[in-house]
């Protein structure tokens, strides 16, 4: 590609584009962060117990501004806008992440469970106080013995027909509620997920409102609470363990939007199938997963801003003839380390923006079709997985790119690395989430989707669904569809003649990979079942293939969203800059998976080398505007309190 004229980035316009529909909310959150910037120093200097109280204080102050309650109905003091709530939460990721997580626990998990799983009775009883942060709560789902497999939780809520109460019991230590944010010190109430038992029979996992502390902060009778102890990060969040020993709560404390128990002990629900009922209940809590993915992407922005600004100041080595040392960002390897990550951050930002719009539409509609809800769950799972993995990788690369300076806590990267590490397993282990994505693809979000466990999914795909999957993804049909949109027509030279910077070529490569991998999964599942193998064993052997299918699908969606975002934009320097980032994301992704493309005949050796040259060329062209591009994120200067950016001369000694 011939060098394009260097675009002159309009940073305020870029920030406005990225802020999108919720620009005002994001600006309010930035203002709050700037006012509380001292918390970044507090996180380093304060003892753990003192810092926890500082974080609680700031969460309560934010609640007073209304910024944390935006997703709740207006009649309870909220803003009545779920999308605005998520946008505010994402923007909190520019600041201290203990505050972000505590906000997420209080208003997203605890408050979200009461809002989405409860009825008006529960809303009237709790929402106003929790929106004001006068009632602090926790979300007691995870147990020591069960995390991702929520259906197998051990805590029991048995209905006492005479007393009209539920009796909450922890039968063993594996069933203790574990790693529960807000539990160790601050929560007075918990939403507890437990197996509902009536007359000795189980109706599956349901949620209950359970008081756990009195007004003085002392655990109530039958409730035992312990601190989880020191963690890798997030030291401002009081994670704890909870045991219940015959704790009694009124019948009305069951969050009964989808199921209820009558006074005489009859179980009633409009959703007859137990598995579908369970997945419907969990599906309403999707907002937490969306928020965590967005937070991972936001943290990436902070790390890149620190690393790129530092690389635009720090000098090392250079020409022995002139004695002038070179800026780190002028080195090709440094560009290759940071700028593809910058491109992917932009790509994921636009995907998160699309996800946010779909979340708002679905959760604001009482009768959204099941298929639409399942597709949203899949997109949320995949975006969270890629966004949080990207966050961990980006922060680590930025830390290394800043050398020893990046290892100092005063330069933000250490805290970012420690605090985001849990995001890859928080709100669902990323590998499990990509399995969920692939499951939706294999079953085409069928009406049976919510009824299928791992065993059922294998049998479904190997039986009824496999022929449909293979027909849709058959190799010759894939190739014909791809050839139709590429220069070069129907001959076998299509991948040699298409322009590397043609978005249709890039999309075709991503689509080919996704559908080829998916068809391979279907074939392997069918082959294993045809050979009489146990379904669980079949799935275990194909699991890596399943996860690859999920990842390929989400990466294709990310690229499509980026391309679609560029389409309607008015021609401008900003559009040129974003197009270069889109190209860099697409080609660096193909380059990273070149082995697969070459193995499957979709990338020649010469073409592979050309892609690598193009990636390096795009990095060189983006280098002069790299700092403008991170400034476009709109990170408050107070949140870039990296000593190395504001200290003495950063030339090498």
Tell which residue, 73, 70, 98, has the closest CA to residue 84.
Answer: 70
In this structure, the answer to whether residues 44 and 99 fall within a common structural domain is: yes
In this structure, the answer to whether residues 170 and 95 fall within a common structural domain is: no
CATH no. for residue 224?
2.40.110.10
* pLDDT for 95: 96
Cα gap 360→353, rounded to integer Å = 11
* pLDDT for 447: 44
State the total domains in the chain.
Answer: 2
In this structure, the answer to whether residues 97 and 38 fall within a common structural domain is: yes
Cα gap 419→273, rounded to integer Å = 39
Q: Where are the alpha helices (DSSP H) in 20-105?
A: 23-35, 39-45, 48-65, 82-92, 97-103
Q: Is residue 492 part of a domain?
A: no
DSSP classification of residue 462: I
Q: Which residues of 292-317 are buried (b: 16+ CB within 10 A; e: fewer)?
A: bbbbbbbbbbbbbbbbbbbbbbbbbe
In this structure, the answer to whether residues 157 and 238 fall within a common structural domain is: yes
Q: Is residue 4 part of a domain?
A: no
* pLDDT for 459: 61
* pLDDT for 365: 76
Contact 385, 554 (CB under 8 A): yes
Q: Which residues of 471-494 are buried (b: 16+ CB within 10 A; e: fewer)?
A: eebeeeebbeebbeebeeeeeeeb
Cα gap 343→589, rounded to integer Å = 10
In this structure, the answer to whether residues 66 and 17 fall within a common structural domain is: yes
Contact 192, 139 (CB under 8 A): no
Q: Is residue 196 part of a domain?
A: yes
Q: Which domain holds residue 209?
A: 138-276
Contact 457, 439 (CB under 8 A): yes
Using CB atoms within 10 A of its CB, is residue 443 exposed (0-12), middle (13-18) or buried (19+)?
A: buried
At which of 276, 299, 318 does a domain end?
276
Q: What is the pTM of this model?
A: 0.92
Record the tokens describing residue 471, joined without a space. 């027909």
Q: Which residues of 545-582 are buried (b: 16+ CB within 10 A; e: fewer)?
A: bbbbbbbbbbbbbbbbbbbebbeeeeeebbbbbbbbbb
In this structure, the answer to whether residues 19 and 58 fall within a common structural domain is: yes
User: β-strands 260-261, 240-250: how paired?
Assistant: unpaired
Question: How many CB atoms are closer than 10 A to CB 507?
Answer: 17
In this structure, the answer to whether residues 121 and 147 fall within a common structural domain is: no
Cα gap 376→356, rounded to integer Å = 10
Strand partners, 197: 158, 202
Please report, for residues 205, 237, 279, the alpha-carbon distance to residue 276 in angstroms, rounded to integers and kept in the order given: 12, 34, 5
Using CB atoms within 10 A of its CB, is residue 240 exposed (0-12), middle (13-18) or buried (19+)?
A: buried
In this structure, the answer to whether residues 145 and 257 fall within a common structural domain is: yes
Tell which residue, 413, 57, 55, has the closest CA to residue 234.
Answer: 55
Please report, for residues 13, 296, 334, 565, 634, the alpha-carbon distance to residue 16 in angstroms, rounded to integers and kept in the order given: 5, 21, 29, 14, 9
* pLDDT for 109: 95
In this structure, the answer to whether residues 202 and 99 fall within a common structural domain is: no
Q: Is residue 319 part of a domain?
A: no
User: β-strands 189-198, 156-160: how paired?
Assistant: parallel
In this structure, the answer to whether residues 122 and 237 fall within a common structural domain is: no
Block means of pLDDT (10 residues each) for the chain, 653 residues, are: 70 97 95 93 95 97 92 95 94 97 96 95 97 97 89 94 96 96 97 95 95 96 97 96 98 96 93 82 85 96 97 81 82 96 98 94 78 87 97 97 91 95 92 90 59 57 56 50 46 63 95 91 84 83 92 97 96 96 98 96 93 97 97 95 71 38
Q: Is residue 357 part of a domain?
A: no
Q: Using CA atoms of 543, 544, 548, 551 in order, give the dihedral in degrees to the nearest 10.
A: 70
CATH no. for residue 74?
1.10.540.10
Using CB atoms within 10 A of its CB, is residue 386 exposed (0-12), middle (13-18) or buried (19+)?
A: buried
In this structure, the answer to whether residues 80 and 208 fall within a common structural domain is: no
Q: Is residue 118 part of a domain?
A: yes
* pLDDT for 529: 80
* pLDDT for 6: 83
User: β-strands 260-261, 267-268: how paired?
Assistant: antiparallel
Q: Is residue 180 part of a domain?
A: yes
Q: Is residue 610 part of a domain?
A: no
**If residue 156 lies in a helix (H) or strand (E), which one and from where to where?**
strand 156-160
In this structure, the answer to whether residues 129 and 167 fall within a common structural domain is: no
At which of 83, 111, 136 does a domain end?
136
Record the tokens describing residue 322, joined without a space. 């002139």
For residue 241, report the phi and psi dihedrals to the nearest 5 degrees. -115, 145
At which of 119, 136, 153 does a domain end?
136
């Amino acid at each position: 590609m011939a060098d394009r004229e260097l675009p002159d980035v309009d940073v305020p316009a870029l920030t406005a584009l990225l802020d999108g529909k919720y620009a005002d909310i994001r600006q309010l959150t930035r203002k709050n962060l700037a006012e509380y910037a001292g918390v970044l120093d507090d996180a380093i200097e304060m003892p753990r117990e003192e810092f926890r109280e500082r974080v609680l204080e700031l969460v309560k102050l934010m609640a007073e501004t209304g910024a944390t309650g935006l997703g709740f109905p207006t009649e309870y003091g909220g803003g009545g806008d779920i999308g605005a709530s998520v946008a505010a939460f994402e923007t909190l990721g520019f600041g201290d992440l203990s505050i972000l997580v505590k906000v997420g626990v209080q208003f997203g998990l605890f408050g979200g469970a009461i809002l989405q799983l409860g009825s008006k009775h529960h809303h009237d009883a709790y929402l106003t106080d929790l929106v004001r942060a006068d009632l602090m709560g926790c979300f007691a789902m995870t147990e020591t013995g069960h995390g991702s497999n929520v259906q197998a939780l051990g805590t029991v809520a048995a209905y006492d027909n005479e007393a009209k109460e539920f009796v909450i019991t922890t039968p063993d230590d594996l069933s203790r509620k574990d790693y529960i944010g807000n539990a160790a010190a601050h929560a007075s109430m918990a939403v507890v997920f437990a197996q509902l038992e009536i007359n000795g029979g189980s109706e599956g996992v349901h949620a209950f409102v359970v008081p756990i502390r009195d007004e003085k902060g002392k655990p109530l009778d039958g409730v035992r609470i312990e601190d989880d102890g020191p963690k890798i990060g997030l030291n401002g969040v009081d994670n704890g363990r909870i045991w219940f020993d015959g704790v009694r709560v009124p019948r009305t404390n069951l969050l009964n939007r989808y199921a209820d128990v009558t006074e005489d002990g009859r179980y009633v629900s409009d959703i007859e199938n137990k598995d579908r009922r369970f997945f419907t209940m969990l599906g309403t809590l999707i907002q937490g997963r969306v928020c965590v993915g967005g937070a991972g992407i936001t943290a990436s922005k902070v790390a890149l801003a620190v690393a790129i600004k530092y690389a635009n100041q720090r000098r090392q080595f250079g020409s022995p003839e002139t004695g002038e040392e070179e800026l780190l960002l002028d080195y090709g390897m440094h560009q290759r380390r940071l700028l593809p990550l910058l491109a992917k951050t932009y790509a994921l930002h636009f995907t998160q923006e699309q996800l946010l719009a779909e979340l708002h539409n679905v959760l604001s509609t009482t009768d959204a079709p099941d298929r639409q809800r399942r597709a949203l769950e899949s997109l949320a799972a995949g975006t969270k997985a890629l966004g949080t993995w990207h966050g961990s990788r980006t922060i680590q690369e930025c830390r290394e790119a800043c050398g020893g300076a990046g290892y100092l806590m005063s330069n933000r990267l250490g805290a970012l690395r420690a605090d985001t590490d849990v995001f890859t397993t928080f709100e669902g282990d990323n590998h499990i989430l990509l399995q969920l994505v692939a499951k939706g693809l294999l079953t085409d979000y069928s009406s049976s989707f919510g009824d299928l466990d791992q065993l059922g999914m294998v049998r479904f795909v190997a039986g009824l669904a496999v022929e449909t999957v293979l027909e849709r993804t058959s190799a010759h049909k894939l190739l014909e569809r791809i050839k139709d949109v590429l220069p070069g027509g129907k001959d076998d030279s299509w991948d040699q003649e298409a322009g590397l910077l043609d978005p249709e070529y890039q999309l075709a490569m991503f689509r080919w990979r996704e559908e080829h991998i998916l068809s391979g999964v279907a074939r392997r599942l069918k082959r294993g079942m045809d050979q009489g193998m146990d379904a669980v064993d079949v799935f275990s052997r194909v699991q890596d293939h399943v996860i690859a299918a999920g990842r390929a699908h989400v990466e294709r969606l990310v690229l499509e969203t980026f391309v679609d975002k560029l389409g309607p934009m008015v021609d401008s320097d900003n559009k040129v800059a974003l197009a270069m980032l889109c190209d860099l994301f697409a080609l660096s992704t193909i380059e990273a998976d070149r082995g697969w493309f070459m193995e499957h005949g979709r990338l020649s050796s010469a073409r592979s080398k050309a892609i690598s040259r193009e990636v390096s060329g795009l990095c060189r062209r983006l280098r002069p505007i790299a700092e403008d591009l991170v400034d476009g994120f709109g990170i408050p200067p107070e949140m870039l309190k990296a000593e190395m950016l504001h200290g003495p001369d950063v030339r090498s000694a």
